[in-house]
Structure 1
Amino acid sequence: MQQINEILINGAISILVILLGIAVKAIKEYLVQKGGEKTIKIVEILAKNAVNAVEQVSAETGFKGQDKLEQARTKIRSELNKYNIHMTDSDLDTFVESAVKQMNDSWKGE
């Protein structure tokens, strides 16, 4: 029973990772059409920086899960406003989740 649960959980995680990859690709294509490659690069860099910043101060602030996501969104949105770029929360979440995955993969050495 334990092994079946592990297989199901691993399968679900694999499917979520694939779906996240598809979502990031779709959003990137949309943004390339709408604002060009420069916009994507700006959002990716800002997401990566915001995730790193929030992660570094999370021990001191006590932020967890959703609070960390909201902090990252706020930081990214304030910077995007400087470039006159506007995105929905779900689009920002996708970039934040992608940055978190990249950070976790680099910590694991993958």
Structure 2
Amino acid sequence: MKSQTILAACLLLAFPFAVANSAPPADGNLHVILGGDHADPTIVRDGEDFYITHSSYRTYPGLTIWHSTNLTDWKPISNALHQDVGTVWAPDLIKHDGLFYLYFPSSGKNYVVTAEDPH
């Protein structure tokens, strides 16, 4: 019994999302926001609009900004990065005082890109 408890605790530590999200949604459908290889997503809502971006690693133009009004249908609208600065990962997109800020680490530095409009 004790070994089963320890095993269960180890599985929870190793696979917390698998255990926490093991039950399907009530309607039986999976609700994927942005399918594919889009690691480390960050999303911000601006009124009726949603904007999302994700790690782009060494790809550029990078940090593709996607737009949606329903969290289901997404359209790429712009790229925030137009030159190679190294491996780009774990971005954070926010809006403050009418300005969008996109923070991301790369090559041992922290960067920020700003825009009044994500388009």
**TM-score for the superposition, normalised by structure 2:** 0.25
- Considering fraction of residues, name the structure with more helix: 1
| CA radius of gyration, larger in | 2
Higher-RCO chain (CA-CA 8 Å, sequence separation at least 6): 1
**TM-score for the superposition, normalised by structure 1:** 0.26
